[in-house]
Every structure is written in structure tokens, then in C-alpha cells.
Chains A and B, each alone.
Chain A
Amino acid sequence: MSSSPDQTVPDTSAIAQPVLEARGVTKRFAGVTALSGIDFAVRPGESHALMGENGAGKSTLIKVLTGVHQPDDGELVWEGSPVKFARPLDAQRRGVSTIYQEVNLIPLMSVAQNIYLGREPRNRIGLIDYSQMFADARTLLTTYGIDIDVKRPLRSLALGVQQMVALARAVSINAGVVIMDEPTSSLEAREVDTLFSVIGILRRQGIAIVYVSHRMDEIYRVCERVTVLRDGRVVHVGDLADLPRMELVSLMLGRSVANVKGRGVTAFGETRESDAPPVLVATDLSRKHQLEGVGLEIRPGEVVGLGGLLGAGRSETLKALAGVMQLDRGTVAVDGKQVRSGSVPAAIRAGIVMLPEDRKSEGIIPNLSVRDNIVLAALPRLSRAGFSSTKNQDAVVDVFMRRLRIKASSPDQQVSELSGGNQQKVMIARWLAMNPKVLLLDEPTRGIDVGAKAEVQALIDELAAEGLAIVLVSSEVEEVVEGSARVIVLRDGRVETELTGADVDEEHLLAALAGDGSGDPK
């Protein structure tokens, strides 16, 4: 596969009727609009990228296209006539196949059995004709340049090959549209090449591909058109060749390159750079498929932003620092002393604490009180001989509830009854009670209301001013830019570049996110 869309694919996109269309599709969940008036169309033989950040509506749109969800408004159109997919099977029968990042096949069955599951060739007396099935499977896979023993159980094959089998099964059932959701996230480079050549073959057969990925390089390599979603709306449809990377990134993030505004959107004040010796030094953090040699240094009193698109390795870097993730390689040191990797208690003892991204599943203990949630990590320090001291706890709880302005009827109120912003403050209090040296914040203002957001942002400033070293991950560009003194930009699990001083602005960040600095697509 060359670096440009395959030349032998006929350019039908301009003339052919779309094979699958969404017209004005709107989808609401419990009052929240996930999709609003989406128009989306793929034509036969076209490879169409669907782009957008977290919460843009990509997955919802895919679920509507595949019959998992039904649109509240608007309609789906198949080859010019309206269709309704009441359930996933309807969509599959019509010709919409989906390849997920995890393979949805039966691991213990043979490759051939998996391909023909539920539609096995029969002999005269109605039993499965295995020799026919094996021969058919072999022929089918050879068409896509895959040469494997079709009698082997599926799970004995590499993940990439399994995915090819899933793909072969999908297109052999019926060939209309194949939706690929992050198909390469667990593939080796060589397997990616095979996948792309298969995509080329499919397109020559007139099959439309909807390709979802966060990897810019892949998108530009394999797709010719793109639809960009943001906040449940289509913000751009067009040819990828006409769209510089930087523009694509700014479309996804909703920041126009041309009119990047000045400061003042967030509650962050002036940021300062520090020249104190670093409190945290991490080198060569690596984990297969996730991180590749990430290194960083954080000084006391500075806020360092981690930039990057979804899947770039920001959360993974924090998890590596906090001892949550096992590493293949790499070291973390605090004040020159190495921290045992892969151990949360060790990281906490060293003074590294992390506010996790998912407050609900990784942060709060819902049925415990505000008090118990705040003192959770500090409990051993606040206890004497294993007995918890209400007096010691009250002192801590009181200080942080007042300082962070946590609004609760009393410290004994159940934490799940608080608003998202107050829950987040409880989480921050839990960590501040540990007197940390390094505070890792993963999306500290996600899902909390505007007022609480400003408070949290102001608090981050305040904590840094008091000498805490802070690493900030946020999917909001202005939060990273205005909150951080430096920004380390990650891409595909590597450190792409570092922005310092006057370079910490949206323009430079967007350029770094796009990954080529020049804004040129190729």
C-alpha cells in the first residue's frame, strides 16, 4: 500500500449514489443530545474517515448505523431508499458489517468454522460439509492475501490475523459497508499493512469503508474522505487531500487556527516556570502498544500539561507515574530516589498521587460518607494502633471541606448525593490530605459545572504556588494552555515535542497535535 489512496480504486465518490446514508439523524439519551441532525454518506468503493474527540458522537453514530440504537429523528437510507434497522441483525442482513478492535468470534473454533458460522455448507443429508467449508474458506482468505491453515483454532492465531478472519467473515456474508472501529489499536505494523491492503481489495470490489481511528497517519494513508464530528454535530465533510492536518485537528477540537483568542477563558492566573531541581524524573516509560520511551521532569511549583489527542498516551503516562500500570521498561524517581514501579502504595509513599479520569468507577466510594471518602488514603496516618480517631479525622476533614469549599450537608452525608463538582473536590481533598509532592490530574474538570470548574482551576494554581508539582491532563485545549507553564505533547505513546515559554499557546499546541509542525497533510 502506498502512502496515498490506492490509484487503482475507481474514483466513484463523486458520481455514485451513496450506499448508506444518515439524513438528519438525531439521537438523545435521557435528555442529553448525543447526535443532532447528522448527515453522513458513504459511497461504494469509498474509504471514509469518521473523526472526532471524546464525546463527539462517533460511537453513537456507528451504533445508529449498525442498528444498535434507533434514531429519534431523521432516517437511514440504503441505496436510495429509507431503511429501519430495528436491531443489529437487520443492519447485518442489509449489508452493514462492523469490525471492532476486539475480535467478536469464537476462539476455540477453527478459522473456517468461524467464517461460516451459522451458514455452513451442507451435504446431501444435511450435515456440515467440512471439506467444502475448508476449501471455501481457503479460497476466500487467499483472495485477501491471507495464507493460513483454516483448520486451526482461531485463538492460536495472532490478534491481527484473527481480525482479518473477522473481516473476511464480514465481507463474505454480504458486502455493502464495512465499519472499522479503531481496527489497528492492537496490531503490529506489519499486520496494519496487511489490513490496509485488504481494505484496498474491498474498495476495488465496491465496498464502502467507514474508518474510525485516532491515528492521523493512518487516516491520511487509507482514507480519501472525512466527516468530522464535534459535540454531536457534523462540522466538516470533505476530501482529506484538501484538508491539512492542522486544520483537521482544529476542527476536531473546535479551535479555529485563524482566531486563537487571548487568555481569559479559564480561571487560571499567570503560570510560572520554575528552575528548582526537578522533584519527579521519569525516564523511558514504555509499555507495549501504549507508551514508548516517555520521559519527563517535573519541578516543584510548576504545572506541566500533557498534550495529545485521544489515545496519545496521556492517561497512560499518568498511570505509569502513579504506579497503576505495569511497565515493560522505565523508571520513576522522586527527589532522586527511585520509586518501585507498578505499585500504587509505593508511589503514594514517595509522594505521587493521581486524581483518576473516571471519578465514578475509579474515584469515589459511593456508599461511604464525605468524611470517609476524604480520609480514605490517609486513614492509617490518622489512626492510632489501628483504631481510627474521629478527632484526627474531623480536623483533616474540616480543613479541606472549608478550604475546597465542599458543599455537603455534613461530613456524614453520603458522597454519592453530592454534585459532580463537589465529588471532585472530595477526591482532591483525599489526595491533599496525604501531603503529596506530585499531583497528577487526569481531566480534573470533566463533567462538573462551570462554577466548580473555575474553583478547581483556581485551586490548581494555588497548589502550584505552594510548591506542589502538578501534571495536568485535559481534553480542553484552553485548560492545558492556560493552566500549564510547559506542555509536553504526546503522540502515539511518544513524546512528540515540548512547548515552553511563549510557545505555550493554542496555535503551537494544535500544530504539535497535528504531528508535523508545518500543517502540511503529507
Chain B
Amino acid sequence: MTQGTVTIALPRRAAMLSVLQRYGVYLAILLILLFNLVATPHFFELDNFRTQFVQVVPVLIVALGMALVIGTEGIDLSVGGVMAMSAAVVPLYIGYGFLPAVLVAVVAGTLIGVVNGAMVAFIGVQPIVATLSLMVAGRGLALLIANEQLVSVTDPGILALGRDSLVGAVPYSVIVAIVLVLVIALVVNRTTFGKQLVAIGGNRRAAALSGLPVKRILLLVYILCAALASIAGIIGTARLGASVPSTLGNLIELAAITAVVVGGTPLTGGQVKIAGTVAGALLLQFISATLIKHNVPDAYSQIFQAAIILIAVYIQRGRAVTR
């Protein structure tokens, strides 16, 4: 050990797992695109890709926040409830105009994140328990606010967010998603907050002993996650042209967690992969689109998604063991 470093020659299987862990999601996207190139007519057309990107936006935005939470060794099951909450608030304030309504909706959804974060950081409730309770309570509150009504939204701003494109090419919702991806990537890689978040996920005790404001960071992470989910809720509402708090964001937490995990962010925390998360969300979108285009029932699509989670988690586990 003259170098003072330990280099272990990985056995072939472990090396393969390691490559899969790092690049598996991109490989999978490549495979599914190749499959569609051969087997699906009209898949490689601009309109189709535009549709795919528009459809992936809500999951992708939620997954960004989920990646941050998972990076701290937590989980946020309440994102669907948060989406419902922001959706329920939009029609109430739309009379004041597009921007005020959006702001109030984001604030309302973010309040759920404050409760999540406070429970996790200050009371020490396990993330899964804290956010599970808000997953139920958030949607319940949303239904209460909306009077359990479906309200159609006719504000031109909101409708444009859901349906129009910049210079007729890139949908506004996709632009929002791209901006958020860049911002979150910047936060993770370039800010003190991002570094501290990852350190807390990697070794919470060591982080606390190093004087990091562990509680504050955890609180902020859950708030950020909820803020992102709120934006996803607004975009979801915009796309439907209606506020549907009863169903908007149902099961989205599973899709988001899948995207994060498939993208190479381990559930054990200490790492956040934004590019991987984007790829993970896209992969899920392509898979479900492929299954739909081949007339495979939705139930199978969900089974397929479950299988992918299993494979992704297995690959990560395999890596962890070799370390």
C-alpha cells in the first residue's frame, strides 16, 4: 500500500453490477428506444416525443424533490396530497390572476412540507410515518377546500401553461421542468445546502458532530420537496384544464420513488443523482408509452414498473455488498 489507497480488483460480476448501477438507466432508455425504432410505428416522430415530454413533467418535477429527500435517507409519501392541495387552491384564487393563484397554491402545498419537515426534523418521527399521515391528510384537506368538487379552470394563463408551446415548439410545462432540473442540479452540486444534505444522508451522526444544522437542513429538504410537488400540481391542473383534487397525483409518489431509485440514487441516502432521476422518469414514461402503443393493459404496465424497481434495487444492493 505505497499509495495509501486501496484498489480492489472487482470480480467480473461485481464490475458489471457497478457499471449497471451507474449507467443502467441510460442503457435501459437506449434499449427501449431501439425496441420502439424497430417495433413501434410512428414512435420516432416529433409529435410523439413532445407528448412524452409533456406527460413526464409532473412525475419528473415530483421526482426531483423526492431525490433530495431520499438523499437524506428519508422518503416523502405525501407528494400526491401536496399536488391535490395546490390543485384545490388554484381555482379559489384564480380570480386575482394567474401569478397570485400560482403563488398561493405553491404556498398552500408547501405548508404540508413544513409539517412533514417539522415532524421529521424536530420531533424525530420516521419520514415514512410522518409523510404517510400527510399523504392522507393532505388529500383530505384538499377535498375539503374544494368541497369535493371538480372545478374547471378557464384562466388563459393556466391553460397556456398546460397546452401551449414557446414559439410553437417547446411546451411551457417542459420549459418549467427544464428550469427546475437545472436549479435543483445547481442546488445539489454547487451550494452549501446541497453538500450538507448529502452529508446528512451519508452519515447523520458524523454530520451532527461536525456542527451541521441537521434539523434545519431536513426541514428545508421537505419544504423544497413539497414546493416542487405543488408546482407539479399546478401543471397537472393546467393540463387537465380543471382542478381535480380527488385523483390528481394519485400514486405519483411511487412513480417518483421509482424514477429516483432507477436513476441510481440509493434509498440509503448520501447521494443525489439529478441526471439519473431525469433519466429514470423518462424511462418510466417510455415504458408505459410503449406498452400503451402495443395495447398492453395498464395493469401490466404497473407490474412492469414494479419489476423495474426490484431490478434497480437489486443492482444497488449488489454494489453495496461489493464495497
Q: Give residues in A with beta carbon < 8 Å to B.
A: 322, 324, 344-345, 347-349, 354, 356, 361-368, 372, 376-377, 379-380, 383, 386-388, 407-409, 413, 416-419, 421-422, 430
Contact = CB atoms under 8 A, between A and B. Distances in A.
18 contacts: A344-B210, A362-B205, A365-B198, A365-B202, A365-B270, A372-B198, A380-B192, A386-B191, A386-B193, A387-B190, A387-B192, A388-B195, A407-B4, A407-B5, A409-B3, A417-B7, A418-B5, A430-B210
A368 B213 CA distance: 18
A60 B194 CA distance: 43
Contact of A376 (B1, B4, B210, B270): B210
A361 B206 contact: yes
Contact of A367 (B6, B191, B196, B202): B202
Contact of B3 (A365, A388, A407): A407
A419 B198 contact: no
B1 A377 contact: no
Contacts of B132: none
Contact of B1 (A324, A416, A419): A419
Given A366-B202, A372-B199, A413-B5, A388 B192 contact: yes
Nearest to A345: B211
B105 to A, nearest CB: 26
A361 B203 contact: yes
Interface residues of B, number: 29
Given A362-B209, A376-B195, A408-B5, 12 more contacts: A348-B210, A356-B206, A362-B205, A362-B206, A366-B203, A368-B199, A368-B270, A372-B199, A386-B192, A387-B191, A407-B3, A409-B3
Contacts of B195: 372, 376, 379, 388
Given A364-B206, A386-B191, A387-B191, A377 B4 contact: no
Contacts of A372: 195, 198-199
Select the residue from A347, A361, A368, A409 with max chain B CB neighbours within 10 A: A368
Select the residue from A361, A363, A365 with max chain B CB neighbours within 10 A: A365
Contacts of B211: 344-345, 347-349, 377
Nearest to B208: A344
A419 B202 contact: no
B199 A376 contact: yes
B66 to A, nearest CB: 19
Select the residue from A361, A366, A367, A422 with max chain B CB neighbours within 10 A: A367
A363 B207 CA distance: 8
Given A364-B206, A368-B202, A376-B212, A388 B190 contact: yes
Which 7 pairs, one residue from A and one from B, show the smallest C-beta to C-beta distance? A407-B4, A365-B202, A348-B211, A377-B210, A367-B270, A383-B192, A345-B211
